[in-house]
């Protein structure tokens, strides 16, 4: 998993890098799961 830290201090981790486009954003007090995959029909 690849991890970045933004200038604002957020930690962004790419989850399952070979299977999809999902990221975990950690703010210090909250965790947000972001799915950037295409909408299935």
CB of 29 closer than 8 Å to CB of 16? no
Task: Kindly state whether residue 13 falls inside one of the protein's structural domains.
Answer: yes
Task: Kindly state whether residue 23 falls inside one of the protein's structural domains.
Answer: yes
Task: Please count the structural domains in the chain.
Answer: 1
Confidence (pTM): 0.77
Q: What range does the domain containing 17 cover?
A: 3-35
User: From first to last of its 41 residues, what are the pLDDT tens digits of the chain?
Assistant: 899 999 999 999 999 877 778 999 999 999 999 998 777 65
Task: Kindly state whether residue 7 falls inside one of the protein's structural domains.
Answer: yes
What pLDDT score does 41 carry?
55
Task: Kindly state whether residue 40 falls inside one of the protein's structural domains.
Answer: no
The beta strand positions in 1-41, using DSSP E, are 3-5, 11-15, 22-26, 31-35
Q: Which residues pair with 5 in a beta bridge?
A: 11
Task: Kindly state whether residue 30 falls inside one of the protein's structural domains.
Answer: yes
């Amino acid at each position: 998993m690849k991890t970045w830290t933004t200038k604002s201090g957020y930690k962004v981790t790419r989850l399952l890098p070979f299977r999809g486009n999902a990221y975990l954003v950690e703010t210090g007090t909250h965790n947000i799961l972001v799915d950037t995959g295409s909408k299935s029909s």
